[in-house]
Amino acid sequence: MSDNNIQIFDTTLRDGEQVPGCKLNTEQKVIIAKQLDILGVDVIEAGFPVSSPGDFKSVQAISKIVKNATVCGLTRAVENDIKVAAEALQYATKPRIHTGIGTSDSHIIHKFKSNRETIIERAFAAVKYAKSFVEDVEFYAEDAGRTENEYLARVCEAAIRAGATVLNIPDTTGYCLPSEYGAKIKYLKENVKGIDKAILSCHCHNDLGLATANSIEGVINGARQIECTINGIGERAGNTALEEVVMVLKQHPYLNLDTKINTSMLYGMSQLVSDSMGIYTQPNKAIVGANAFAHSSGIHQDGVIKNRETYEIINPKDVGVTESAIVLTARSGRAALAYRAKNVGYELTKLQLDDVYANFLSFADRKKEINDGDIHQIIETSNVYRQIISA
């Protein structure tokens, strides 16, 4: 793996599936996993095998069908979780166990009623035990975002000594600022003994809307894996959105950080996940929302019709969207109306357009959005209709 390759770890089927109201059966999970594999993700976190027989079955089924990606199962730092995960992953070509424990004082004191030294011992023991089943073990320091850096470095060192190949630094509560999260990754890169034996991974939640920014700061500062979900779905406000981080890296080539994702599949992937989970994607969602490539104000439409790049930084085809949409509303101008009229078969002169436009405005004030059928009606009821059809 080249040093500027960013591994994409997809957790749609684990952290993503923790969304209230979303439940996928094994068949649906297998379909999504197959598509994720074709999309080019490096790791598929298929579930939390000990959590239910259904999840165990899904992780096992996914392990059998995934051809290229590593298949990963989540565990707590508990021997039985790890044993069950190893069993669920036994058919995977590339299995990974993802084990870990909370490391912030809040988790140590309130959740575990423990102390820092005992947590380090538990982290070490969990990784060591997982290593007895698989070579590839990822360790997560839950709530690393609110864990003091010096202590976090000691936890990471213990995980590396026990054989961890990946160190996941989750901002579990979505609290960090991008500068803070980036500095945390930099600190670990510079201060953890043996850090060259493992890669650092970003796992950011979106409680303050900063998950994508934090993940990008993480990789700029030395992390080499991003954990993310399709459409950014996940606990509470969700996880880092896969389509966002992938497109940030693609659209900023000078960062010199690449992924293996086939970006032309992003829109289809988003639809598949949203349809299977029954969770609708907000229209203004970056990259995959219904309005991500739709232009509705007259000024923008005029620009886009002249040259798409005036108001678009991404070619919609690059993410699997057929074309930009020129949406006709009462805010649209003559350029947009002429463009849409041409698409349905009318080539209007400047004078004809003036007349049709007046008719259009009175229509558009009554109706939110004008569709192709409306355009025919607007033209047919305009004063210049006879002139248009006789031309």
Report what 302 binds from ligand KIV, Zn ion, none; CB cut-off 5-8 Å by kind: none
* Shortest Å, Cβ 282 to ligand KIV: 22
**For ligand KIV, the closer CB: 144 or 219:** 144
Exposure string (b/e) for 110-136, b if CB count within 10 Å is 16 or more? Answer: eeeeeeeeebbebbbbbbbbbbebbeb
Q: How far apart are CA 311 and CA 192, in angstroms?
A: 44
Report what 212 binds from ligand KIV, Zn ion, none; CB cut-off 5-8 Å by kind: none
**For ligand KIV, the closer CB: 242 or 353:** 242
**For Zn ion, the closer CB: 219 or 341:** 219
**For Zn ion, the closer CB: 15 or 81:** 15
**For ligand KIV, the closer CB: 98 or 340:** 98
* Shortest Å, Cβ 232 to Zn ion: 12
* Shortest Å, Cβ 142 to ligand KIV: 4
Give the interface with ligand KIV as residue ranges (CB under 6 A).
Answer: 15, 140, 142, 168, 170, 172, 203, 205
Contact flag: residue 136 with Zn ion (CB under 5 A): no
* Shortest Å, Cβ 304 to ligand KIV: 39
Report what 215 binds from Zn ion, ligand KIV, none; CB cut-off 5-8 Å by kind: none
**For ligand KIV, the closer CB: 141 or 337:** 141
Q: Structure tokens of 314?
A: 């991404």
Report what 12 binds from ligand KIV, Zn ion, none; CB cut-off 5-8 Å by kind: none
CB atoms within 10 A of CB 344: 12
Contact flag: residue 15 with Zn ion (CB under 5 A): yes
* Shortest Å, Cβ 200 to ligand KIV: 14
* Shortest Å, Cβ 47 to ligand KIV: 12
**For Zn ion, the closer CB: 15 or 244:** 15
Binding piece for Zn ion, criterion CB under 5 A, among 12-20, 25-33, 207-215, 319-327: 12-20
* Shortest Å, Cβ 12 to ligand KIV: 12
- Residues at the interface with Zn ion (CB under 5 A): 15
